[in-house]
Structure 1
């Protein structure tokens, strides 16, 4: 009598990194909403800074007769993106590693790419909402004119995307350099210095040349400049160091930092704390 062999049931294929990334994005958004302090900081910080500076310097104009609130909007929008991506992501990942959450994700078989996509997705959604609130307040409370041309909104879109992605991968990269306390303190200090160097609070062309040269190495300066090209009149480009908005250079610098951040992430990202 011949035995009949029953074929073993096929195991379902594991989900792709993209599917895991989408699921992680939803999870990251839920975790973000459940943290009131992070929600308040992400949405209130740019608005509070806009209110303070626009109120203190209400009677002052920037180059070309541009009202201060209009000029400052570019810088505060850019720094909001940096804080939501670079600072928040770097601090959060270091804390998750210290709490052992990353080790549990690794045990469950979560691919690093899926985890990174989840962080990037959460940053992009949060950034869009943050900017929508900020622009609404600027337009309604301070009469800041928003762009009326489709080309400016297209520039706005790729500058936001490039800045958010660069900030996210760099945040992931720096999260591997130490404990949550050292990473958090280091990122916060670096972010404050970079804001002053990058022309967030001042007219960039009026900063000392050595500050301009240092700032030009980092993405925030280009993110701020890209935002100025969106919210300021074309004539304002004349006071930029190069006499133009340098969109091509802005795109290249942001893309370069995304690539640099990805390379560092691939080499340095750690799921577990090291002794």
Structure 2
């Protein structure tokens, strides 16, 4: 059998194992669902507050954006964090010593990261539909649109996360990364329409996939009249596909280059250097 095909199969199996471990360990489960649970609790408390004259509550308008932010934020951050940590503890170096081990390693991480995001989305969507309502799945087309937005959102963010994981060094760097990412979530119209922000902030938000993934989720989960609160009173599907597709295309081209460079430079001496730097920071 072709060694590359075998490596892909091993990677898929590795991803499934990591997902099973992720969802059977209490600390990991808490880490996965604590923030979405807090967000859902807040939305539940404001479920009776209407937004302007839309006839919909703030919570109903925000729920699809929350789902979009889970896709985009975790697509970026989850794989970034795991790549940085695996370089620190030697996991990546061990994978490098196995023939085609880097292929199976990266396939496994992509499967685990995407599977984790999908599980969070399913749980938040199901719980949100029960305690908040407002979702308007009106047939197979809506479900297909939902799946398409999820796929496009993951393609736009997972490669970008892999690039960040390939260039950042140390857990401190990934911790600092959460600050700008949370800032992007705050200005991306997740919990209130983007039209409420100043024009220059609207422009910044529209350059990144978090806003467009949230917009896509609103377009398939909310009734048609909800479009009145969006920019230009439109879901702007061509722009949505263009921006998310642009991020996906750029990421899929750049990520393999960055990851290959990272793998080439990974060695016992580089790992020891990082450990020494970490010890110096600690003392």
Select between 89-98 and 143-152 the one with higher mean Cα deviation.
Answer: 143-152
Q: CA deviation at 1:186?
A: 2.9
Q: Could you tell me how far apart the structure 1 residues matched to 2:163 and 2:60 are?
A: 33
Q: Which residue matches 2:228?
A: 238
Change over 3 Å in CA distance of 1:62–1:35 after alignment to 2: farther
Change over 3 Å in CA distance of 1:33–1:236 after alignment to 2: closer
Secondary structure, counterpart of 2:233 in structure 1: coil
Q: CA deviation at 1:243?
A: 2.4
Q: Which residue matches 1:42?
A: 32
Secondary structure, counterpart of 2:167 in structure 1: coil
1:213 corresponds to 2:211:
no
Q: Could you tell me how far apart the structure 2 residues matched to 1:263 and 1:186 are?
A: 26
Q: Could you tell me how far apart the structure 2 residues matched to 1:223 and 1:215 are?
A: 11
Q: Could you tell me how far apart the structure 1 residues matched to 2:151 and 2:38 are?
A: 24
Q: Which residue matches 2:3?
A: 14
Of 228, 233, 238, which aligns to 2:218? 228
Q: How does 1:52-71 map to 2 (within 5 A)?
A: 52-56=42-46, 58-61=48-51, 64-71=54-61
Contact 2:163–2:255 (8 Å) recurs in 1: yes
1:101 corresponds to 2:91:
yes
Q: Could you tell me how far apart the structure 2 residues matched to 1:167 and 1:196 are?
A: 17
TM-score normalised by the chain length of structure 1: 0.87
Q: CA deviation at 1:54?
A: 3.2
Q: Could you tell me how far apart the structure 2 residues matched to 1:88 and 1:233 are?
A: 31
CA-based RMSD: 2.2
TM-score normalised by the chain length of structure 2: 0.84
Structure 1: tracts of 5 or more residues without a match: 1-11
Change over 3 Å in CA distance of 1:129–1:73 after alignment to 2: same
Q: Which residue matches 2:129?
A: 139
Higher Cα Rg: structure 1 or 2?
1
Deviation string 1:31-73 (CA, Å, 9 cap, x unpaired) is 4235533322222322320211331463232562211221110
Q: CA deviation at 1:94?
A: 0.3
Q: Which residue matches 1:266?
A: 256
Q: Which residue matches 1:192?
A: 182
Q: Which residue matches 2:276?
A: none
Q: Could you tell me how far apart the structure 2 residues matched to 1:131 and 1:62 are?
A: 28
Q: CA deviation at 1:113?
A: 4.1
Q: Could you tell me how far apart the structure 1 residues matched to 2:59 and 2:78 are?
A: 26
After the TM superposition, list the runs of 4 or more consecutive aligned residues in structure 1 that deviate by more than 4 angstroms. Answer: none
1:122 corresponds to 2:115:
no
Q: Could you tell me how far apart the structure 1 residues matched to 2:162 and 2:76 are?
A: 8
Q: CA deviation at 1:166?
A: 2.1
Secondary structure, counterpart of 1:242 in structure 2: helix
Q: CA deviation at 1:132?
A: 1.8
- Count of aligned pairs: 264
Structure 2: tracts of 5 or more residues without a match: 274-283
Q: Which residue matches 1:92?
A: 82
Q: Which residue matches 1:7?
A: none
Contact 1:69–1:138 (8 Å) recurs in 2: no
Q: Which residue matches 2:277?
A: none
Q: Could you tell me how far apart the structure 2 residues matched to 1:251 and 1:205 are?
A: 20
Q: Which residue matches 1:4?
A: none
